[in-house]
Amino acid sequence: KRFREPKHERRPWKIWFLDTSKQAIGMLFIHFANVYLSDLTEEDPCSLYLINFLLDATLGMLLIYVGIRAVSSIVEWQQWDSLRFGEYG
């Protein structure tokens, strides 16, 4: 994905790695939660994975959106320039 970004807009390797590692950690967490839940119940692991994915893609994204908006408002109100989202310096 990094090589599909325009050369003048490419993120440095460190920032790219940190951005993509967040996604990998989230996927691993969902996978292990699914394995753990399927051991606790006699449900089909695939259906539990689908439920986990749908909850993450809907409620999880809504919570993240609300959280980012709240933190961004506080950062702007307090004028903490070093904590602005997307500003890597």
DSSP string, 18-68: HHHHHHHHHHHHHHHHHHHHHHHS-S-HHHHHHHHHHHIIIIIHHHHHHHH
pLDDT tens over the chain, length 89 residues: 778 888 888 888 888 888 889 888 988 887 888 888 778 877 777 887 888 788 888 998 999 999 999 999 999 999 888 888 777 66
In the DSSP assignment, the letter for residue 10 is P
